[in-house]
Amino acid sequence: MARKADPTKIEKIKEAAVEMIVEYGYIGASIAQIAKRAGVSTGYMYRHYESKEELVAELIRSNFEIYKDKINSLGKREDSIYDIVEDFVRELFIMAKEKPSKAMLAAVLALESGTTFQRIIENNADMISKFIETIVVKGKKRKELGEQMDSIDMGLVLLVMPLTYISWILRDDMDTNKLTEERIDKIVKMCVNALK
C-alpha cells in the first residue's frame, strides 16, 4: 500500500530546500542535508522527489504559479516593451519584499546553476519562456529592440540582472527595507538601457 504524503513534511522539505540552496548554493545543497534540516529521512525525500532537480523544479513551479496572472497580463499588454520590462522588474521587487528567501533562491539558481536553472525553467515554467519570447517578438516588431536581441539576452535582462541586484541588497541581513523606490528605479534604468 502506498504511503500518503504528509503535507506538513512536504512543506518543511520545501522550506529547508530554499534555506539550504540560499545558504550553500544549488551545487552545495544535497538531498541528505535538505532532509536533515527538514527533519525527515533521506528515504522520505526520495519517495517524493526523484532528485534535487525535481524538488527545485517544484519550488520554481509553485513560485511562478503565484505570479502567473501578473506575468500573463504583462505579456498581453500593447504598450512599449520598456514599460512592460519596468513593470516586470517592479513585480520582482514586490516579490522580494514579500518573500525575500524566494527571491534569493531565484537569484542563486539563476547565477550558480545556469544550465540547470535554464532547463528547469524551460521544462516547468512555460509562462516565463513564453513571456520572454513574446517581449522579444513585440520589441523587434516595433523596432524597440535590435535584431540581435534574443530570448537568452532578454532573460538576462528580465531575470538575472534584477535578481542579482536584489540578492546583493538582501545578502547580509535580508532587510527588505533596503528595497527602496530609488533602488527599483536604478535597476529599471539599467535593464531598459541594456535593451537599447
What pLDDT is stored for residue 117 in this prediction?
Answer: 61
Arithmetic mean of pLDDT, 1-11: 75
Give the DSSP H/E element, type plus range, for residue 105: helix 100-112
pLDDT digits (tens, 9 = 90+) for 123-178: 555 677 888 899 999 999 999 998 889 988 898 888 889 988 998 888 888 888 99
DSSP for 149-163 reads --HHHHHIIIIIHHH
Q: Which of 164, 182, 146, 189 is nearest to 106 (CA)?
A: 164
- Rounded Cα distance between 130 and 91, Å, is 17
Residue pair 71/129 in contact by the 8 Å Cβ criterion: no
Arithmetic mean of pLDDT, 15-30: 91
- Same topology for domains 7-49 and 60-195, yes or no? no
Residue pair 113/27 in contact by the 8 Å Cβ criterion: yes
Residue pair 102/63 in contact by the 8 Å Cβ criterion: yes
- Rounded Cα distance between 148 and 49, Å, is 39
Q: Which residue has the cell 534604468?
A: 189
Q: Where are the domains of the chain?
A: 7-49, 60-195
Name the pLDDT band for 118 (thresholds 50, 70, 90).
low
**Looking at the whole model, is its pTM more than 0.75?**
yes
In CATH terms, the superfamily for domain 7-49 is: Homeodomain-like (1.10.10.60)
Terminal CA-CA length for the chain: 59
Separation of CA 171 from chain center: 16
Q: What topology is assigned to 60-195 in CATH?
A: Tetracycline Repressor; domain 2 (1.10.357)
